[in-house]
């Protein structure tokens, strides 16, 4: 499973990005939820105060908007997301088309076959920057 997260500033510029390769397989909904969790944890550690989470997985965004509760693995990850988001002044959950989520998708597939995490400030790997629209 690969996780890709990109943080953009208010003008759309890339602020940071992360890619993580895990040695496990997950259904797409769980993988998307894990990517969001990694993103909010990184945003929190960097001191961001107002965030917008965009995802092309409507069931995940709907569950986050509803603050859905439950006992499944999915809901336990949601609980972690809610916990890490408690420090932000504002959080907006937004569904976007897969086309608009292409940078995160490329980062998720960029992560090497080695298990681990990579974080970049401003400039993402060249092959990912081509998707951003500039290199």
Render pLDDT for 27-62 as a digit per residue (tens, 0 to 9): 889 989 999 999 999 999 999 999 999 898 999 999
Q: What is the pLDDT of residues 99-115, one digit of tens each?
A: 666 667 676 666 555 56
Higher pLDDT, 85 or 123: 85
Q: Structure tokens of 115? A: 């298990």
| 113-130 average pLDDT score | 75
Q: How far is Cα 4 from Cα 129, in angstroms, rounded to an integer?
A: 13
Angle at 33 between CA 32 and CA 38, to 5 degrees: 95
Where are the domains positioned within the chain? 2-132
The alpha helices in the chain, defined as continuous H runs, are: 28-45, 58-66, 73-85, 102-110, 126-132
**If you average pLDDT over each of 8-12, 20-24, 42-46, 108-112, which comes out highest?**
42-46
Pick one of 1.20.140.10, 3.30.420.10, 1.10.645.10, 3.40.50.300 as the CATH number of 2-132.
3.30.420.10
Q: What's the confidence (pLDDT) of residue 134?
A: 43
Angle at 112 between CA 32 and CA 40, to 5 degrees: 35
Count the Cβ atoms, other than its own, within 10 Å of residue 26: 16
Q: What's the confidence (pLDDT) of residue 113?
A: 54
Q: What's the confidence (pLDDT) of residue 81?
A: 98
SS (H, E, C) 71-106: CCHHHHHHHHHHHHHCCCCEEEEEECCHHHHHHHHH
């Amino acid at each position: 499973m690969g996780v890709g997260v990109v943080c953009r500033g208010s003008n759309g510029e890339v602020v940071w990005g992360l890619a993580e390769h895990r040695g496990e397989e997950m259904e797409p909904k769980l993988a998307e939820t894990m990517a969001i969790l990694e993103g909010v944890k990184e945003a929190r550690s960097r001191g961001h105060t107002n965030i917008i989470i965009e995802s092309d997985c409507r069931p995940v965004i709907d569950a986050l908007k509803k603050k859905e509760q439950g006992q499944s693995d999915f809901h336990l990850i949601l609980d972690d997301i809610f916990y890490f988001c408690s420090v932000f002044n504002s959080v907006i959950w937004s569904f976007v088309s897969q086309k608009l989520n292409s940078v995160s998708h490329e980062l998720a597939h960029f992560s090497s076959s080695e298990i681990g995490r990579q974080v970049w400030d401003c400039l993402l790997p060249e092959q990912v920057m081509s998707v951003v629209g500039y290199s």
